[in-house]
Amino acid sequence: MLNKILQNTMRIFFILVFVSLLMLVRAFESQLFYDPFLVYFNGDYLKLALPHYNSGLLFLGLLFRFSLNTVFSLGIIYFVFKDKRMISFAAVLYILLFVILIIAFFSIIYLFKNHENLMLFYVRRFLIQPLFVFVFIPAFYFQKLNK
């Protein structure tokens, strides 16, 4: 009984650590990542021209941020379910989603210029925020219930 309580306490502790790490990524986003769109989307971006940016640095910044969010999210998923196959599956999904989203992000920038700023905002949001963990946890939970 005591062992089970201790085990659940440790799981909750590690989940809280990973959630705290996700919060730190958000808190220090302007210091950690190159992203001129941080300031741009805080203003009246529907009327403003796109900011000047370095495509290579922007890609690396988005990759770094997405990677950090992915690692911390996978940590949360692992400590919630304790299933390595689920982590492998989620990791593949994260990689596929990054490829799709980064292509969409740069396509919107280059093809639509200033005409689709709202779509750019939402695609970027999926790249920089750990939103997929909120989708994967309930999905994996229901998957586990169906087994």
pLDDT at res. 38:
87
Q: Tokens 């909750």 appear where?
A: 12
Tally of domains in the chain = 1
pLDDT at res. 49:
80
| pLDDT averaged per 10 residues, the chain (length 147) | 75 96 95 90 78 93 97 96 94 98 94 83 94 95 88
The pTM of this model reads: 0.90
Supply the DSSP symbol for 51: P
pLDDT at res. 129:
94
pLDDT at res. 1:
60
Residue 132, token pair as written in the block: 């997929």
pLDDT at res. 27:
95
First and final CA of the chain: distance in angstroms? 27
What residue numbers bound the domain in which 33 lies? 2-146
CA dihedral 7, 135, 133, 85 (to 10 degrees): 60
pLDDT at res. 132:
95
